[in-house]
Each structure stands twice: as structure tokens, then as C-alpha cells.
Structure 1
């Protein structure tokens, strides 16, 4: 009798472990897809606002650490498959903005201000509601305009370096047909092969010391251009394109994300990472479905394990951040921008669709898009900010007096 009880307990434990395998694997896949798909966008953005290679590597490293810890905390505490990611649209804003008044220290100050605004939405939920009142057509048009130059990079790269870019695009296209989820990660693998061949044929040398991840801290400063031209657009696009959709996606799978705790955790994570070069972390949006969908586990009550697994995997992948930067440093011309561009194709298409979906909102969206895509900075303030202003002004004029 004792043997039977012990045997049944053993079988039950094995069944439980086997049952957890699916959400654990789902979490690993979520982290792999998220990091490998968009790390090139993050590095492009950090370099654009003034980070050197060491500071960009530090920013990538600390983003992996903070988003990993935040995923673990939220998933474990609330028993939901809540996942946290870096702000990919925010990184695109950095790339479009370029160098700001005050250089890299001012950019770090803008990251800190963004974290303060995210924390403010936790303390004062009305701020989140105010952002949600920004017409989606205008917000998405601004994002589409910011993404356009990055999405064009694979096409210009075909002219600049066809032998390096063609293998990346072909891999992406084939995988988009056969395994869409892995199209961008496998395109990065193709880019890695191209970089390896380039290193072997040119004799480029990678310093082993640069492969060890480490944090580079920067004393922040604040300038008018960095506050208005970088911090505010970064905050707005992170909220409108990541946090708000992230909550909606989770709700579609039956999970009600606790708004204030989520904003508090991601705001604190952004603040901690800012001084080491991390621009912003937020609730995952598109990749959230990988951990929250039924494919992660048939039992919704066990999917929170996928959130924890995502966080742990993200921290582990952070150990590769310096190696990823080393690959970027020795990469031939146009290869990394091509990877970054195709990683944003889906986001660009979605933003364009939402921007022009409503005929009544189309003209303000078109103006917003064109101003953002122009890249013109006025008074040291980036085009992203002026695009939002222009779109809202046009919309107000066209809708004045209407209900």
C-alpha cells in the first residue's frame, strides 16, 4: 500500500514536470524571438543618440536584465503570463531623432525622465487615460513616419552592398513563407554568416575583452532639446504603441493586467537601467501572445510559468549582449541596418494600416506621417514631436465645431 502511494506520488510529480515543459519552452521561444528580432534596432537607436560601442553594449545588457527581472516579478506575483520587453518603437524614435543637445549624457537624462513619466502613470492613472485619448490614427502615423527611414534601409543596402544584404533578405523571405515567427531571427543568423565570411576574408579582429558584458554608467544631464525632442516622444510611443496594446492583447487571452503595478515595475526598471544606457522597458505587445496564447499551455492557470521562463531566458541572453555588439562593429556595410529594417516591417505595416483605416482621420494622419518621416528638427526638437503637434493641430482644425 505504501509502495502504491509512493508510486502514485512519483507519477504525479513526473506529470506535473512534464506539464510545465510547454510553458517553459514557450517562455524561452518568447525571449529568443524578442531579443534576436530587434536587438539591432536597439543598437541602432543607442548609437544614433550618441552612445559609443561600450555604452551601447551596456544599454543592451541592462535592458535584458531589467526586462527579465520585471517579467519574473510580475508573472510570479500575479500568476499571469505577463512579459516585459524593451521598447522597440522607442528605439526607432532614438534612431530617427539622432544626436540631441547635450549628447549622450542628455540622452540618458531623457531616459530617466521617461521613467519618471511612466512611474507617474502608476501614481496618477489619469495620465494613462490622457495618452489613450490621443487619436490612434495620429499616434500610429507618427510611429510609421519614424519607422520609415529604418524600413527603407534594406532597400538602400541592396545598392550599397548587394552581396551582404541579398542573403539576409532571401533568408527572411523564405522563412516568412515557411516559419513566419522565426523569419527575422533566422535573417540575423544569415547576417551572422555574412559577417563571419567578411571577418575571415578581410582579417578583421575581434578583441576577446569586448565579448564580456559589463555596465557603463553615465551621469545624466537634461537639456531642452533632449526633454522635448526625445523624452516626450519616447514616453508617448512607449505608452501608445507598447503598454496600451500590451494590456489589450493580454485581455484578449482572458488576463486583466494590473495597470498600476505593471507601470510601477516597468517604470522602476527603466529608471534603474537608464544610467547604464537602457532607454525604456514596457509591457510586451506582439510577443506577449507567444507566452499568453493557448499554445503555451492548455491550462490558462499555468501559463504564468511562461512569463517567468521568458524573464529567466532574457537574463541569460543578456550575457550575449557584448558579443552581439562585437558582431555589429565588424559587420560589413548595410548588413545590420538591413536586419533592423526587416525587423520593423510588421510594425510599420500595422502602424500604416491603423493610421489610415478611418477615412475621417486620414488627412491628420497623412500630415503626421509626412512630418515624422521628414526628419526635420526645429529649435533642436526632433521631428517626432512636431509630427504629433502638426497632426493634432490639423485634426482640431478639420473637426472644429463637430460633435
Structure 2
């Protein structure tokens, strides 16, 4: 039995809360995690001239780290805590890794993870996140998810014989059996993919991984050139949106243990190639919404499921790339987008509630703009823009209120 101050979960409860929808949603989240970001991992490996063995070890490390933390944190807090590897971090490596040795990069990974762990353990990151208004975090989430929803329909241009039946199936079963809508749509899509000849089974090559331990070296240039930027983009572009996803769906779990745990596993797995383990955003939204389960207290099963699939896929390392390359990109885009419909609609509605509509709108627009500055993605700058807007409006309101009070008091004195 695992316990924390709020929850106690045993095997009997796990069996009672188990649902097919949550398990399949966990599988979809894992597929989305590998489908796009893994391609960027391959690009970074080419830049660094890594061997196939080191590449497989890297994929194994980020998969095992994501899997273990998903399972531990989901059970600990009885919430769908989804973790992943830092995709913005991999993008950073694509642009900067070529001038540093592999061992220096490993040292920079550890340095970055130590800073992240410190920010989590001390509670500094949680204090910052607690000051951000709810409407702004939900607007940021809506901005992140919007493109996924749009891609469902843009995919129609390339593969209408697959995409249209999937959309139609989703709409019909959303009306008839909402809980299993994504599950049914997933299997229909796989069947259509197979029978239309779009499944490239000949490219699938399954093999096990032999993890490689690399002793780190610590170069000042690598610590500054990789370590510090990796820490910033991981916290700003991954952990911050990840917290926003959880809160948007009503999971007010403490932030510090989440960040600290992912930071510790990042340190442990860095010598095997892992650049950073962190909270997920897109894949988290798949598991935290109603598609996983109508009862939000039972959606933690999706987090455990996601973690288990991470572990299974990670054992085969680089072979996972061939599996996802066998599926058409339109299939991944559609099933991910449809699974995120509920989270997108909820986020849009929540963002426009209350008195902070302007701040939420600007957060949303900046986030969907896709701008990147100083290596940090649009989600972070959306938060910054929303907070700045909210601050300006608060200052104007307080100033106006003060002047109104002074005028009222002056009129009373005159009378």
C-alpha cells in the first residue's frame, strides 16, 4: 500500500477503479509522446554523432524515467500525473550539441537536473505558480491544445479515407457511448489503416536495449551552453504548462513533490543519456480529461497505464521509432486531437469566465502564435503576457478605486 497525507491506495482499489477507457487513453498518450518528439531525438543524435547503441540507451533512459515517475506520482496523489522527456530540451540540443562532447553534455544534463530538483524541493517554483490566476493557466492550455484540434481537420486533405470515418465514428459514439468513444475510434482507425495499405509493417524491427552508462565530465562551457538553457526551457516550456493542465482539470496537487521527483530521476538517468524528465502538457491533457473516465477520481488509472506503456516501449529503445513510423502521421494527429477535444473545450470555457477575460485572451493568442524567444517556447511567453496584462489591469483598477474613494471623501467633507 502506498500512502501520502491525502490518499491511500491498495490493490483492491486499483482493481475497482480499473477501466478500459483509462487504459486506452494511457496508451494514446504514450503513442503521442513517441510519435513526434522521438523524431527530434533522432535529429539531436545525428548532430551529436551518437552511435546506435548510445541512441538506444538515450531512448531507454527517457522512457524508463517517464514510466516510473508516471506510475509513482499517479498512485501517490491518486491523480493522472503524466511525465515525459523535455521536447524543447531536445530542440535545444539539436541547435547546440555539436560543439560539446558527449560526456560534457551528460555533465550538463546532471547540472540542469540538480537546479530543477532544488527549485522543486525548496518550493520556489510552487510559490511562483500559485500566484498565476486560474484563467491565465487555462487560456495557456487552450492555446497549446488548439493546433491539435485544428490538425484533426487539416489531416482530411491528405488521407480523407482514414480521417473522415474516424471523425464520424467519434461523433456518433460521443452521443451513444461517451466513455468508450476514443477507444472505439482508435481501433477503427487501426483497422482502416491496415486494410487501406497505409500500415508499413515491413519497417517494424523489434530489438531489446542494452543501456550504456557514461561517466560525466563537467565543462564550464557545456554547463552554461547546455545546462542553464536546458533548465530554463524545461521549467518554462514543460513544467509550467504541465501544472496548468492539472489545474485546468481540477487537480490541485502540490507542485513541489512533482518537480522534485522528476528532477531526481533526471539526475539518476542522465549518465544513460536522459537529458530531462519533466511534467507533460499535451499528453497530460489526454489523460486528465473526461475521455479517460467520467469520474475524475478514477482517471489516475490513465497515469499508471501511461507509465506502464512507457516501460514496455522503453525496453525496446530505438525499435519504437520503427513502430510509429509504420503508422501514418495523420492517424496519430487525428486520434490525439479527438482525445483532446474535451480538454480544449473545457479550457476555452474556463479561460473566458470571471473578470480576467483580457488577460486570458492575450495569453491564448500569444500561446497559439508559436513565437520563440531565447530558446523558450510560446507557452511560457503566453503566461508572461497574461500575467503582465493582468498586472496592468489590477494597477488601473486600484488606482481608479483610490481616486474614487478620495473624491467621495472630499464630497462628504464639503457637505
Whether TM exceeds 0.5 here: the answer is yes
CA displacement 1:148-187 (0-9 Å, x = unmatched): 1222111001122101212322333333234333322333
Q: Distance in 1 between matches of 2:210 and 2:334?
A: 27
Q: 2:318 aligned with 1:326, yes or no?
A: no
Question: Shift in Å at residue 379 of structure 1?
Answer: 5.0
Question: Shift in Å at residue 131 of structure 1?
Answer: 0.9
Q: Distance in 2 between matches of 1:375 and 1:131?
A: 22
In structure 1, the gaps of 5 or more residues are: 1-18, 252-256, 297-302
- Contact 2:114–2:263 (Cα < 8 Å) also in 1: yes
In structure 2, the gaps of 5 or more residues are: 1-9, 46-51, 99-104, 217-221, 399-415
Q: 2:168 aligned with 1:170, yes or no?
A: yes
Q: Distance in 1 between matches of 2:192 and 2:379?
A: 34
- Contact 1:36–1:188 (Cα < 8 Å) also in 2: no
Q: 1:22 to 1:376 in 2, by over 3 A?
A: closer
Larger deviation, residues 225-234 vs 365-374: 225-234
Larger deviation, residues 385-394 vs 67-76: 67-76
Q: Secondary structure at the match of 1:280?
A: strand
Q: 2:339 aligned with 1:343, yes or no?
A: yes
RMSD between aligned alpha carbons? 4.7
Moved over 6 A (4+): 53-60, 106-114, 216-221, 282-285, 288-296
Q: 1:347 to 1:70 in 2, by over 3 A?
A: same
Question: Shift in Å at residue 75 of structure 1?
Answer: 7.7
Q: 2:201 aligned with 1:208, yes or no?
A: no
Q: Distance in 2 between matches of 1:312 and 1:35?
A: 5
User: Which of 222, 229, 238 is equivalent to 2:242?
Assistant: 238
- Contact 1:146–1:384 (Cα < 8 Å) also in 2: yes
Q: Which residue matches 1:155?
A: 153
Q: Secondary structure at the match of 2:82?
A: strand
How high is the TM-score relative to the length of structure 2? 0.66
Q: Which residue matches 2:260?
A: 264
How high is the TM-score relative to the length of structure 1? 0.68
Q: Secondary structure at the match of 2:186?
A: helix
Question: Shift in Å at residue 133 of structure 1?
Answer: 0.7
Q: Secondary structure at the match of 1:232?
A: helix
Q: Which residue matches 2:395?
A: 400
Query: What is the count of residue pairs matched by the alignment?
Result: 358
Q: Distance in 1 between matches of 2:199 and 2:309?
A: 32
- 1:3-402 matches, within 5 Å, as 23-24=14-15, 26-27=17-18, 29=20, 32-47=23-38, 49-51=40-42, 62=61, 65-70=64-69, 73=72, 81=78, 84-86=81-83, 94=87, 99-100=91-92, 102-103=94-95, 115-116=113-114, 119-199=117-197, 205-209=202-206, 212=208, 222=226, 228-229=232-233, 231-242=235-246, 249=251, 261-272=257-268, 275-276=273-274, 279-281=277-279, 287=288, 311=304, 314-315=307-308, 318-320=311-313, 325-358=321-354, 360-378=355-373, 380-402=375-397
Q: Distance in 2 between matches of 1:20 and 1:195?
A: 37
Question: Shift in Å at residue 329 of structure 1?
Answer: 0.2
Q: 1:287 to 1:276 in 2, by over 3 A?
A: same
